[in-house]
Amino acid sequence: MTMKKTILGWLFAIIMTIQPQTAHAQGWPANYEGVMLQAFYWDSYTDTAWPYLESQADELAQCFDLIWIPQSGNCVYGYGENKMGYTPVYYFDHNSSFGSEAQLRSLITTMKAKGVGMIADVVINHRSGVSNDVDFPAENYKGTTYQMTNADICRTDECNNNGFPTTGANDTGDDFNGSRDIDHTSVNAQNNIKAYLDFLINDLGYVGFRYDMVKGYAASYTSLYNQAVNPQFSVGEYWDGYVSIERWIDNTKDAGGNVQSAAFDFPTKYLLNDACKTFQWNKLNTAASLIANDYYKRYAVTFVDNHDTYRTDYGSTNPLTSNITAANAYILSMPGTPCVFLPHWQKYKDEIKAMVVARKLAGIHNQSKATVKISSANQIAFLVEGTKGQLMLCLGNTNYNPGDDFVEACSGTNYKIWVSKSCNSVLVTPPSGEYEAGTEVKLTPLTNDPEAKICYTTDGTDPYTAYAKAVTGATALAINGNMTLRALLVLSDGTKTAEVRRDYQVKEAFQPTTISLYIKTSLWAPPYVYAWDSDGTATGAVNKWPGVAMTTTTINGETWYKYDFKKNTADYRYNVVINDGGKGSQTVDITNIADNAYYEVLTTQTSGKYQVAEVTETVGIEDVIATATQHKNDDRVYDLQGRVVARSADFSALPAGTYIIQGKKVLKK
């Protein structure tokens, strides 16, 4: 027996040496310096289309290490039935409302080549049938057929009342009305889910998971599934308070005590809500969040808003409205892994880029130490330790003086960020992007070596050559054309620091234009439009219920109704409700419209409001081709089926073929 135990122990030691990551898998890497993007919001079918995201790969890769995209499986969508993916049907068919499976694979491959990992939205709390409550599809993967049955549905599910009796166990978490609650105690259900997750990682190429509604089933099953597939990253949506989320994280531990999943830091989100709404910044000086706990901050994914909180919690009264950039400055400066929300990235891109640059210059990571330096109702300052230097953040009154060892990296409404000279790098402001001609670029040395020189080039060549320019101290350059700036520090002892690269493009100033909303309906003649928008230009009668009557127009021989909006900025968005003139019937909210748009009012209803179907990609394309001069500012790229596949005439990421751009057919070879 002694010899046998010795041999077994020796074999175990070898296995542990060969596969340390598998044996000691953790739900989130230690000291992780990455930043995540949530690349969608509710109904973001155009902005999150796989080809459109892929066309932005170079820019996104400069800031983000992880990109979380919507549930990508087929939810049985059809004409006018786009779906976000939260009522999943197919596990192994990934043709969705955001694009084809081939386009998804291309997106994942392109991002991976640029060092960006894609995070899959995993919805396994519940599932829908193909045509009724329980007709789950039979699917093949690696030679095995996978299918769930009534026995894989919790016995407490409401489908029992609809004539579909279930034989599963009781639900191990909260109930979900809308799809069938999966019985995670079922071995068959577990095998289906394990195969699905294996497909996501080892076939499609995702690097990790965002688990939806993990309150719906016991945390031990998240642990079970992650141990089976071993994703690099895992984060659960446990929408609750501080202590409850800690408990959920603990309950994902494997038999060896290793945490198997991180969680979204909802306590930090609510602290930000409170501080930003009341302008009492010392509300952030608390231990009641994951990132304030030395153990749990590794497993904290911080966020300012997401697709649900942004859509349902507040509407136009979001308490963050006045301080969205300050809130982003907070999560991008503090420990935890920050997750930026796509609408914030779109609207405040230059500021968020500068925040990410500061974070990465200092090497701030998910376990960084943050110390409060000053705290009052109108001002709070944090000193955060990174692997390369220090970062100082001040919120509220930003007149705080961090000392001579710090250089201002960026600032805005109610926030300012500094980085320490000990970073031994070059601070380049502004960050990469599109700017108008004449914009000034400033290079500032981050070093305590007074004789250090900044070596740089503006044509993309090696800055450490005889041809590079060298300056001592800060210097400024003008952007008068497209420019690739490469810079590094050479210390007095000849040591070279890591190179910094910035790419600048000169853009034409945005020209205000008019964009139109088109509505087709047989319910009301004429329909009325009630509107609110991002810059307050939708005022007057259209912003007072029930709005104004739309005018009649003809498209392809059919009667439509039209209303024009003034687009004064590139990031303009408008929202509408179509109604019968205030007599009692209306549509659901139609939100976040950025361009010319076409909608049909359906006869089906949700909570007493008529549903709508966006048909811009079908009806709109015919109108674009027919009236090209009316769409000269439409930068969307269409395929010949009328689908939006990109948003720029630079469509290098698209495959060869014929496309429609500004009303004209363009052949890409």
Q: What is the pLDDT of residues 69-94, one digit of tens each?
A: 999 999 875 434 678 999 999 999 99
pLDDT of residue 658: 63
At residue 485, does pLDDT exceed 70?
yes
The mean pLDDT of 51-76, rounded to a whole number, is 95
C-alpha separations of 237 from 152, 189, 212, 292, 302 in Å? 23, 21, 5, 19, 11
d(Cα 574, Cα 588) in Å, to the nearest integer? 14
Confidence label for 666 from pLDDT (cuts 50, 70 and 90) = low
Q: pLDDT tens digits for 593-650?
A: 888 999 999 998 877 899 898 888 677 555 544 443 334 456 667 665 455 666 654 5
Q: What sign results for the dihedral spanned by CA atoms 52, 55, 61, 65? A: positive
Which helix H or strand E contains 190, and what residues bound it? helix 187-199
609 and 595 Cβ atoms separated by less than 8 Å: no
Question: Does residue 416 contact residue 398 with C-beta atoms inside 8 Å?
Answer: yes
Mean pLDDT of 271-287: 94
Q: How much is the average pLDDT of 275-286?
A: 94
What pLDDT score was predicted for residue 95?
A: 93
- The pLDDT of residue 164 is 87
What is the pLDDT, as a whole number, of residue 591?
A: 79
For position 634, what pLDDT does the model report? 60
- Closest-CA residue to 200 (of 66, 104, 86, 338): 104
Domains of the chain, CATH where assigned: 22-128+186-362 (3.20.20.80), 425-506 (2.60.40.10), 513-668 (no CATH)
Average pLDDT over residues 367-394: 98
Sign for the CA dihedral angle at 52, 56, 61, 63 comes to: negative
Tens of pLDDT, residues 134-177: 999 999 999 999 999 999 999 989 887 788 889 999 999 998 88
Residue whose token pair is 């493009």: 505
Length of the chain counted residue by residue: 669
Q: What is the pLDDT of residue 15?
A: 36
Q: Residue 177 class from Cβ within 10 Å (0-12 exposed, 13-18 middle, 19+ buried)?
A: exposed
In 100-186, which ranges are continuous DSSP H helix? Answer: 101-113
DSSP letter for each residue of 591-621: EEE-S-EEEEEEEEEETTEEEEEE-IIIIIH
- Model pTM? 0.78
C-alpha closest to that of 48 among 37, 63, 62, 35 = 37
pLDDT at residue 240 tops 70: yes
User: Cis link prior to 546 (omega < 30° from 0)?
Assistant: yes
Average pLDDT over residues 270-277: 94
| The dihedral sign for the CA sequence 580, 584, 585, 586 | positive
Instruction: Tell me the per-residue pLDDT of 306-326, one tens digit each, with 9 for 90 and over.
Output: 998 886 544 445 677 779 999
Assess whether pLDDT exceeds 80 at residue 464: yes
Give the model's pLDDT for residue 314. 46
CA dihedral 644, 650, 656, 662 (to 10 degrees): 50
Distances (CA, A) of 661 to 195, 628, 664: 41, 9, 5
- Token output for 500: 């910094």
What is the per-residue pLDDT across 564-588, written as a single tens digit (0 to 9) for each? 999 988 778 898 999 999 999 999 8
